Amino acid sequence: MPAENSKKIREFAELQETLYSYRIDPGLQLYVLPKAGYENKYAAFSTNFGSIDNHFQVDGSGETVKLPEGVAHFLEHKLFEDERGNVFDRFAAYGASSNAFTTFTHTTYLFSTTDHFSECLELLLDFVQEPYFTDDSVSKEQGIIAQEIRMYEDNPGWRVFFDLLQSLYRNHPVREDIAGTVESISRITPDLLYRCYRRFYHPGNMALFVVGDLDPDEIWRQVEANLARRNYQESGEIIRLYPEEPEAVTRPRISREMVVSEPLFNLGFKDPAVTGFNGDALLRRESAAEILLDIIFGPSEPLFNELYEDALIDDRFDAGYTAELSYGYALIGGTTRDPERLYERIMSAVEGAKQNGLSSEAFERHRRDRLGRFMRRFNSLEFVAHNYLAYRFRGTDLFNYPAVLQQIGLAEIEALLEEILNPARHAVSIIHPAAQEE
Amino acid sequence: MAQQSTVTRLPNGIRLTFIPAVKFKTISIALFIHQELAAETAGLTALLPSVLERGSRRYPDNLTLQRELENLYGAAMSADVQKKGERHLISCSLEMMHGKYVGADEEMLRRGLAIVGGVIGDPLVVNGGFKEDYVEQEKEQLARIIKGLINNKSLYAVEKCVQSMCADERFGVFKYGRLEDLAGISPASLWRYYREILFGNPVELYIVGDLEAERVEQIAREMLHFSRGAQEKSLPETAVYVEPAETRFVQERMPLSQAKLVLGYRTNIAYDDPLYFALVLYSGILGGFPHSKLFLNVREKASLAYYAYSRLAKHKGIMIVAAGIDGADYEQAREIIERQVEEMARGRISDAELENSRVGLINQLRLQEDSPYQQINRHLDGEIGGRKYSPAEMIRALEETGRDEIVAAAEKIRLDTVYLLQNEEGVQPDAR
């Protein structure tokens, strides 16, 4: 039985923001954040379908489908075209700009405009819900995406990152490039795109975030009317299949040569325990892990400054933690003249932190820093929209972040130090400068 | 509607622009020291921001500074150099959460300005120079940045095209200078140079946020009270007008998956020219949007590229066209690009191309008001370009520009330099 359409209003005192949420038949989640005084009116329409969702069960039949790498991204490109041509042009007539992007876990379609908001919203809802794939259009897109893949092949930051993911993960699809390969996308057909579309672009697997100087209920009525005329059937639960992934890394080390001025270095720690978390608990683990990394690697801490003074890093040296439902890792990286020495120094700093413990002064300072940085990022409507949806698909709420931050304690962070920064589960990826004739 | 910005002079001659804005969650502060872009001083100018940030009397090392920023609720500070036309700018900016979220309105502004004032106006000076190890370490870091340009092939290709196109002009100077500039810089010479430009060159301070103008001015006076000269130096204007005798072709090879094609055009239209907005529309129609001629013809129709765009270096009157292609497609891609430029000159612009670009550009202008940084940048452009336009004036100018003016702008545009970066296997094109 379909759940009733509903509306919820929540006020977030620390943020001084009010968020409106609606459930719209047959299961679409709509979020509206009014922002007085902003010129920008921004909408992001996302499906919980990313590059890692490449193996799933077909409803009822027990049959499973395994996709070539790059289908989610390919589908994203192709939705921008229909019988009448290119969707960009229709947004352009309103002065709006439209775009889309695909991540490991989801695909987002968006527009930004200062005028004609409701016409643009209608366009967005229409083009995402009306697929049109032909042999011709698929084959033309193969040429364009091949150039996109080649562009990334020349991007050393991208290469060092995917080399690391392949070293951390033996089977999990996060090890594959989001766009796939020139070979894998050559296997994509209109029929395959339609099958994926029907599976993952049902409103029950999607969410829409709208932000700007707007009236929430008006948007609600518009979206409801748009969906009502499409006669959606209820859709069963999507069962995503992930291969068995060992706790151990694939290989401890990988390196390659490219045209770069100095080596690029990425160090990753695989976090297999992350798969046991979702919702607020996952957000909490992520927030706590970030503070942990700040305390050890942040620019206000001794390690960073010593490495900088020894010219082993530059000011872009960074450490971050990623927490998704099916994978998670800490990543530390930057450019360096001496990857081996940098590696030794980092590993011994991790060891040192375990022996000496973490200071509560540093913990409080970094917690305050994280809170302020989060508040600052609220200036960007794009930041709020994209992150709200990304956290929503992990079963949690971006706006809970300040509250979650307050719950974290030092003991919890010390436990994560042992658990996440575990030397038994790390890998290193390095890009060395290729020898070049002048 | 947005409130009016106010401009005042602090007692030491710094020009303060305050931009009131209620909607942001932040206070943004940006200070600029203006200098001319010149080969002899580029290395000195480029080295200064990082040396200043490394140590001031109040924050003698990076660790101390970073902790102050963290305690100030994760304030972000950055010091860097920018190139706008033939102007070289040292910038020091700080963004912080507004104090109203933690009940500390003025306190936050005061501490934020104290950091900027301390870094710029009260540096750490030892024996008549900056601290020696800081200078040496930052020289090494700057050398890494200069060499690191090659790590981003698209940026590298555009920079190389501009450098060869403007080899005999000040604009051809890289904003981070040259490696060979660094050896001759000593802690004392750098300090002398800094004192000279801080004393005599134009210095501007911008503050954006939900604040009161009088209080902002008063706190800025207190926190930026270092002494400067009574007379501000006037800096030379950017040279814009060039008629290339012929089109140059420059090629470089290195192991790459994708070739980069960059075409550099002289527009002969300055920022304060009556045809400036016609030029903005011209570039929009040619390659500013996904509906533009370049995207449509190079990418969507010929399937040759993932990206193909045109962009203005507005203070220099240069237009850059760039595409990432397969090296084997060079001739075809260049031919398609040049054909679009010819179509523009013949006025073959559809109503949809013109109107969509017009509303698209107006949309972009309005969006600038949602970013404190872009608001500051708009004021700075007016200051450097010698012509200040309010957003309303710019929108009106775009609304009133017609096809004839776009064609008049097109007639002034000349292809100067074609640059191709590709791998060893790529074709050997006929140099044209």
Domain span at residue A142? 6-228
Q: Please count the structural domains in chain A.
A: 2
Check pLDDT > 50 for residue A2.
no
Among B258, B355, B366, select the one facing A147 at the smallest CB separation.
Answer: B258
Domains and CATH numbers, chain B: 6-223 (3.30.830.10), 248-422 (3.30.830.10)
Contact of A437 with chain B, judged by CB distance below 8 Å, is answered with no
Contact of A378 with chain B, judged by CB distance below 8 Å, is answered with yes
What's the confidence (pLDDT) of residue A246? 97
Predicted confidence (pLDDT) per residue in A305-355, tens digit: 999 999 999 999 999 999 999 999 999 999 999 999 999 999 999 999 999
Predicted confidence (pLDDT) per residue in A259-310, tens digit: 999 999 999 999 999 999 999 999 999 999 999 999 999 999 999 999 999 9
- pLDDT tens for chain B, 432 residues: list them: 457 899 999 999 999 999 999 999 999 999 999 999 999 999 999 999 999 999 999 999 999 999 999 999 999 999 999 999 999 999 999 999 999 998 887 889 999 999 999 999 999 999 999 999 999 999 999 999 999 999 999 999 999 999 999 999 999 999 999 999 999 999 999 999 999 999 999 999 999 999 999 999 999 999 999 999 989 999 999 999 999 999 999 999 999 989 999 999 999 999 999 999 999 999 999 999 999 999 999 988 888 888 999 999 999 999 999 999 999 999 999 999 999 999 999 999 999 999 999 999 999 999 999 999 999 999 999 999 999 999 999 999 999 999 999 999 999 999 999 999 999 876 665 544
CA distance B294 to B321: 9
Q: The tokens of A255 are what?
A: 């390196």
Check pLDDT > 60 for residue A438.
no
Tally DSSP H helices, then E strands, for chain B. 15, 13
What's the CA angle centered on B219, arms B216 and B222, to 5 degrees? Answer: 150
Q: Are residues A123 and A257 located together in one domain of the fold?
A: no
Q: Are residues A407 and A316 located together in one domain of the fold?
A: yes
Contact of A261 with chain B, judged by CB distance below 8 Å, is answered with yes
Q: What average pLDDT score do residues A2-9 get?
A: 76
Chain B residues within an 8 Å CB radius of A381: 370
Adjacent-strand bridge partners of B125: B130
Among B23, B70, B141, select the one facing A366 at the smallest CB separation.
Answer: B70
In a domain, A237, yes or no: no
CA distance B27 to B212: 12
In angstroms, the first-to-last Cα distance of chain A is: 71
Q: Are residues A181 and A299 located together in one domain of the fold?
A: no
What's the confidence (pLDDT) of residue A237? 85
What's the confidence (pLDDT) of residue B303? 83
In a domain, A242, yes or no: no
Chain B residues within an 8 Å CB radius of A139: none
Q: Any catalytic annotation for residue A301?
A: no
Share of residues in chain A with pLDDT > 90 (%): 90
Q: The tokens of B277 are what?
A: 């907005």
Mean pLDDT of chain A: 95
User: Is there a contact between B116 and B53 (Cβ–Cβ < 8 Å)?
Assistant: no
Task: Tell me if residue B29 falls in helix, strand or coil.
Answer: strand
Q: The tokens of A9 are what?
A: 């209003």
The length of chain A in residues reads: 438
What's the confidence (pLDDT) of residue A298? 98
Cα separation values, B223 from B106, B113, B117, B202, Å:
13, 6, 6, 18
Q: Are residues A218 and A301 located together in one domain of the fold?
A: no
Dihedral of the CA atoms B239, B241, B245, B248 (nearest 10)?
60
Residue of B nearest to A117 (CA): B363
What's the CA angle centered on A85, arms A82 and A90, to 5 degrees? Answer: 100
Are the Cβ atoms of A381 and B256 closer than 8 angstroms?
no
Predicted confidence (pLDDT) per residue in A91-109, tens digit: 999 999 999 999 999 999 9
Residue B124 CA, chain-centre distance (Å), reads 28
Q: Are residues A264 and A331 located together in one domain of the fold?
A: yes
Among A144, A156, A314, select the one facing B306 at the smallest CB separation.
Answer: A144
Check pLDDT > 90 for residue A3.
no
Q: Are residues A290 and A328 located together in one domain of the fold?
A: yes
What's the confidence (pLDDT) of residue A1? 39
Q: Are residues A203 and A281 located together in one domain of the fold?
A: no
How many CB atoms are located within 10 Å of the residue B164 CB?
Answer: 18
Among B255, B291, B370, select the one facing A39 at the smallest CB separation.
Answer: B370
Residues within 8 A of B (CB atoms), A 85-114 only: 86, 88-89, 92-98, 112-114
Residue (of B65, B105, B94, B83) closest to B205 by Cα position: B94
Are the Cβ atoms of B73 and A371 closer than 8 angstroms?
yes
Contact of A130 with chain B, judged by CB distance below 8 Å, is answered with no
Instruction: Report H helices in A32-129.
Output: 71-78, 87-92, 117-129
Residue whose pair of structure tokens reads 């292609």 in the numeric block: B325
What's the confidence (pLDDT) of residue B105? 77
Chain A interface disruption, residue of B131, B351, B367, most A CBs within 10 A: B367
Residue (of A75, A69, A49) closest to A186 by Cα position: A69
Does the interface ipTM go beyond 0.90? yes
CA distance A238 to B62: 50
Out of A4, A63, A76, A361, which one is annotated catalytic?
Answer: A76
In a domain, A152, yes or no: yes
User: Is there a contact between A392 and A216 (Cβ–Cβ < 8 Å)?
Assistant: no
Q: Are residues A419 and A294 located together in one domain of the fold?
A: yes
Residue of B nearest to A89 (CA): B291
What's the confidence (pLDDT) of residue B429? 58
CA distance A16 to A11: 7
Q: What share of chain B is helix, strand, coil (3-state, %, to 5)?
A: 45, 20, 30
Write the CB contacts of A118 (distance below 8 Å, at least 6 apart in sequence): A218, A222
CA distance A217 to chain B (A): 22
In a domain, A35, yes or no: yes
Q: Are residues A204 and A80 located together in one domain of the fold?
A: yes
What's the confidence (pLDDT) of residue A344? 98
What's the confidence (pLDDT) of residue B360? 96
In a domain, A421, yes or no: yes
Write the CB contacts of B122 (distance below 8 Å, at least 6 apart in sequence): B56, B57, B58, B226
Q: What average pLDDT score do residues A384-389 get?
A: 98
Predicted confidence (pLDDT) per residue in A188-243, tens digit: 999 999 999 999 999 999 999 999 999 999 999 999 999 999 999 888 888 999 99
User: How deeply is A317 buried, as exposed, middle or buried, from its count of CB atoms within 10 A (0-12, 13-18, 19+)?
Assistant: buried
Write the CB contacts of B23 (distance below 8 Å, at least 6 apart in sequence): A35, A36, A37, A38, B370
Domain boundary among A195, A228, A261: A228
CATH code, domain carrying A346: 3.30.830.10
Eight-class DSSP state of B301:
I
| DSSP string of A101-151, one letter each residue | EE-SS-EEEEEEESS-HHHHHHHHHHHHH-----HHHHHHHHHHHHHHHHH
Q: Are residues A223 and A266 located together in one domain of the fold?
A: no
In a domain, A438, yes or no: no
Chain A residues within an 8 Å CB radius of B371: 379
User: Is there a contact between A177 and A161 (Cβ–Cβ < 8 Å)?
Assistant: no
Residue of A nearest to B21 (CA): A37
Contacts across the A-B interface (CB distance below 8 Å): 185
User: How deeply is A1 buried, as exposed, middle or buried, from its count of CB atoms within 10 A (0-12, 13-18, 19+)?
Assistant: exposed
User: Is there a contact between A44 and A109 (Cβ–Cβ < 8 Å)?
Assistant: yes
CA distance A264 to A260: 8
User: Is there a contact between A17 and A28 (Cβ–Cβ < 8 Å)?
Assistant: no
Q: Are residues A221 and A277 located together in one domain of the fold?
A: no
What's the confidence (pLDDT) of residue B1? 45
Q: Are residues A193 and A290 located together in one domain of the fold?
A: no
Among A114, A298, A372, select the one facing B75 at the smallest CB separation.
Answer: A372
Are the Cβ atoms of B326 and A147 closer than 8 angstroms?
yes
CA distance A279 to chain B (A): 26
CA distance B241 to chain A (A): 32
Are the Cβ atoms of A95 and B360 closer than 8 angstroms?
yes
CA distance A30 to A207: 6
